[in-house]
A = this chain, B = another copy of it.
Amino acid sequence: MKEEDRRNRPVFEKREYHTDSFGIFFGVESILYSGRSRFQNIEIFANKSFGNVLILDGLVQTTEKDEFFYHEMLVHPAFTAHPSPQSALIIGGGDGGITKEILRYPVERVKQVEIDAAVIAASEKFFPWLSSARRDPRYELLIGDGAEYVRTTAEKYDIILVDSSEPIGPSRVLHNKAFYENVKRRLNPEGVIAAQAGSPFYHFPFIQECLSFLKKIFKIARLYTGPVPSYPGGGWCYAFLSAGTDPLQLKKNPPPGLKYYNHDVHKAAFALPAFMKTGI
């Protein structure tokens, strides 16, 4: 779209800096929520192209228009590679998108541990199409520290999804070795963990660092990628972790109605570009 063709630009804008000299901007139609919780700054606004947008500490977490790329790719590879997942744990994921994707499956129980009750409350109001899945009787919410929960609970799960924000705010502890050692202990024998792992283009050294300790903890520790238009670099990286369950041996079909995920893109997502083997 040509710059000179732009008309009716909103006066207010919200930006995310991907580096100190590059980033994205959203025109703001209306500010829906703006506040500081005990843990982070929370902003929700309406944008003409992306619908409602959730920003935590200045970083885009979820937009109405493109949330499906991220939420489908964090949930469905783990669920279709597991032979029969009955229980799932979500660490983080306050906006509700992960819960919505999980409850498409006939699981028995889903537990979510989210540290920030304010994110839950704001999402209930401004992302009801994501968070309404929380009314499902199979779902249970615990407001608390996910790292502490996996360190102390005796519960075990078939699938554990780590839907953290970037490793600079309250999610810092969700990106270290001790956390993943505890997560591993909470996993049933054929269980699978999927975790968001950052931008291949911007965060590759950090991804490599995490992968190196994950490979020491898990028999299978594989990275996979997929697009997310509103995230830095337009694409995102995820980690698939298990004690043996193979990410490329698909055990079941995905539920109907998905917008991004299918078996073809599942397999394709594990094909890594040259720079993710050698550095960029």
Contacts and interface: CB of A to CB of B under 8 A. Distances in A.
Contacts of A15: 3, 25
Contacts of A229: 201, 232-235
Interface string A1-43: 1111011111000011111111111110100000000000000
Contacts of A235: 227, 229, 234-235
A52 to B, nearest CB: 13
Interface stretch (A138-146, A183-191, A271-279): A271-279
A273 B262 contact: yes
Contact of A234 (B6, B227, B272): B227
Q: How large, as a class, is the contact surface on chain A? A: 35 or more
A6 B22 contact: no
A50 B24 contact: no
B234 A262 contact: no
A268 to B, nearest CB: 3
Contacts of A205: none
Interface stretch (A101-109, A127-135, A151-159, A253-261): A253-261
A256 to B, nearest CB: 10
A27 B20 contact: yes
Contacts of A274: 258-262, 265
The CB with the most chain B CB atoms within 10 A, among A66, A262, A273, is that of: A273
30 contacts: A2-B17, A2-B58, A3-B15, A6-B17, A7-B20, A9-B20, A9-B21, A19-B48, A20-B48, A21-B29, A21-B48, A21-B49, A22-B50, A23-B24, A24-B25, A25-B25, A200-B227, A227-B233, A227-B234, A227-B235, A233-B234, A234-B235, A235-B235, A258-B274, A259-B273, A259-B274, A259-B280, A262-B273, A264-B271, A264-B272
Closest 5 CB pairs of A and B: A234-B234, A268-B268, A21-B27, A268-B271, A264-B271
Given A227-B227, A234-B234, A264-B271, 10 more contacts: A1-B19, A2-B168, A6-B17, A20-B49, A21-B26, A229-B235, A260-B275, A261-B273, A262-B274, A267-B268
